[in-house]
Amino acid sequence: IDLSATYFDILKDRLYTGKKNGLKRRSSQTALYHILKFLVKVTAPILSFTTEDVWQHFFKDRYGIESVFLTEYEELPKEWENPQIREKINLILEIREIVLKALEISRRNGFINSSLEAKVILYSSNQNITETLNYYSKDLWEFFIVSQVELKELSENITYQENQTKVLITKAEGQKCERCWIYSPTVGTNKDHPTICSKCIEAIS
């Protein structure tokens, strides 16, 4: 998985706008911490000055080791390897590429300017894809960086089709949240915070 082009992009909303000590945000920070610690060690022989600066800033005091070059290479814990989750995530990332193509078509046609203006409607005749999409249904909007995702059967009125998967791009429902920029029907429903969505209200409460 590409970190900057994919993983970091997917995490932006929960890192920037999520509840400060919420499970999603904290678990993402933990994952990023371990990724950084591993990359600093394996790239130290090539990026010696950069990795040493990172070590001094992030890890020196925590581990009591003066330099990244005094650390030992460590194997990743076996329990981190989960073939079932890897298979599902790889499939979601394949679907993500299909959705991105549909979004680009809609952008070129002038239907949307930003992916956050979109609602993605998905349907696949492939049972494995359908089961995986349903499994991650609540998180798909983050994977695709859109405001809403709906899973339902589609007719011929579609934006793009590939790999037994149909995609229709429509306008996202609701108004734009001024805090996270997601479009949501919940914007305007809270009299104390009329310009932000329910997700952001929970984050700041």
Q: Is the pLDDT of residue 1 over 80?
A: no
Per residue in 129-161, pLDDT (tens digit) is 999 999 999 999 999 999 999 999 998 789 999
Domain that includes residue 112, residue range: 83-171
Domain boundary, last residue among 21, 48, 80:
80
Q: Is the pLDDT of residue 53 over 90?
A: yes
pLDDT of amino acid 76: 86
Residue 90 sits in the same domain as residue 167: yes
Residue 200 sits in the same domain as residue 164: no
The count of domains in the chain is 3
Of residues 155 and 60, the one with the higher pLDDT is: 60
Q: Is the pLDDT of residue 98 over 70?
A: yes
- Residue 2 — pLDDT band, cuts 50, 70, 90? confident
Mean pLDDT confidence for 99-103: 98
Residue 45 sits in the same domain as residue 11: yes
pLDDT of amino acid 73: 86
CATH of the domain at 93: 3.30.2320.20
Mean pLDDT confidence for 38-60: 96
Residue 54 sits in the same domain as residue 96: no
Alpha-carbon gap, residue 112 to 170, rounded angstroms: 9
pLDDT of amino acid 111: 98
Query: How does 10-23 read in b/e, with b if 16+ C-beta sit within 10 Å?
Result: bbebbeebbbeeee
Residue 76 sits in the same domain as residue 7: yes
Residue 8 sits in the same domain as residue 42: yes
Mean pLDDT confidence for 39-62: 96
Instruction: Note the pTM of the prediction, 2 decimals.
Output: 0.90
- Residue 75 — pLDDT band, cuts 50, 70, 90? confident
Residue 192 sits in the same domain as residue 164: no
